[in-house]
């Protein structure tokens, strides 16, 4: 019985992990005026000064480097706008 229960719990955890990986934020992320509906992943910051407005249900990470590399310089929570002179990219969690 314990083995069956353990297998069930493991398969349920795997199912939740797999379905969670396809998650996209609900709403719109705006990076320098470009709108990304239901964003997921990394978005470039093309010019400076830049702005990131988060109208999603997720946190957006502003990275100092391109392709979501470098330091995270700011966490932009839902409903917030962040202005930067150094941002290189934005990742939506």
The CATH topology of domain 25-92 is Gamma-B Crystallin; domain 1 (2.60.20)
Q: What is the pLDDT of residues 28-69, one digit of tens each?
A: 999 999 999 999 999 999 999 999 999 999 999 999 999 999
User: 7-13: long-range contacts (C-beta < 8 A, 24 or more apart)?
Assistant: none
Domain boundaries, the chain: 25-92
Distance separating alpha carbons of residues 28 and 31, to the nearest angstrom: 10
pLDDT tops 80 at residue 11 = no
Q: Are 76 and 51 in contact (CB under 8 A)?
A: no
Q: Which residue has the higher pLDDT, 55 or 17?
A: 55
């Amino acid at each position: 019985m314990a083995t069956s229960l353990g297998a069930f719990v493991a398969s349920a955890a795997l199912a939740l992990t797999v379905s969670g990986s396809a998650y996209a934020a609900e709403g719109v992320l705006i990076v320098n005026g470009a709108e990304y509906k239901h964003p997921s992943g990394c978005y470039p910051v093309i010019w400076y000064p830049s702005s990131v407005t988060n109208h999603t249900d997720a946190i957006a990470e502003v990275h100092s480097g391109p392709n979501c590399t470098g330091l995270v310089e700011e966490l932009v929570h839902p409903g917030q706008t962040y202005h930067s002179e150094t941002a290189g990219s934005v990742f939506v969690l």
